[in-house]
Amino acid sequence: MSFDIFLYAKTDLRMFNIKEINLEKKGVFNYEIKAKKDKLNPYDESFVYSDKSEDIFEANDEIIISNLGKKIILFNNYSKNINNFKKAKKTHLLNLALLGSLNIFFIILAFLNNFNTINCFLVLFGLLFLTMGLINLKLLNKQIHILKNFKSEEMKQFLEKNH
């Protein structure tokens, strides 16, 4: 289980044209994307993304990403009109379902063991993670709404103001 799903609030927003792509296949396609230097991107930054599809990015594509460090969490490729919003939402919902079923298991254990301390602690711990997951689902939906509904020019203006 990856805990990246709980870190949407810490992601950065970047918009750039792709300078170069290194594509490596190890079960899935691992992309290393290098951004062109421009007003919004003064550094030689590179980001990584993994997917089953081979033709998501190409050189000179204009993309906007929500990244956590070097890892791309969400992206919208304006040049090809491709994004990973459904995949990100599906992954998040599957992780929430796993946390919910694990919490139900802990509640059943607590009930069967007469609510001993360890089981109550596990239930509270599970509820904490479930709450964090629900909050982050709301944040994910907000980020998807922003990335989906803003045009390229509007995003550039916004990022230039806040850069």
- What CA–CA distance (Å, rounded) separates 2 from 5? 7
Give tens-digit pLDDT for 71-122: 988 999 998 899 999 999 999 999 999 999 999 999 999 999 888 888 889 9
pTM value > 0.95: no
User: What pLDDT score does 131 carry?
Assistant: 93
In 28-155 the beta strands, taken as DSSP E runs, fall at: 28-35, 46-51, 62-68, 71-77, 82-83
Give tens-digit pLDDT for 4-54: 545 555 677 888 888 888 888 888 888 888 888 877 777 778 899 988 888
Using the structure block, give the residue that is written with the tokens 């079960």.
Answer: 27
Burial of 111-150, coded b for 16+ CB within 10 Å and e otherwise, reads eeeeeeeebeebbeebeebeebbeebbebbeebbebbeee
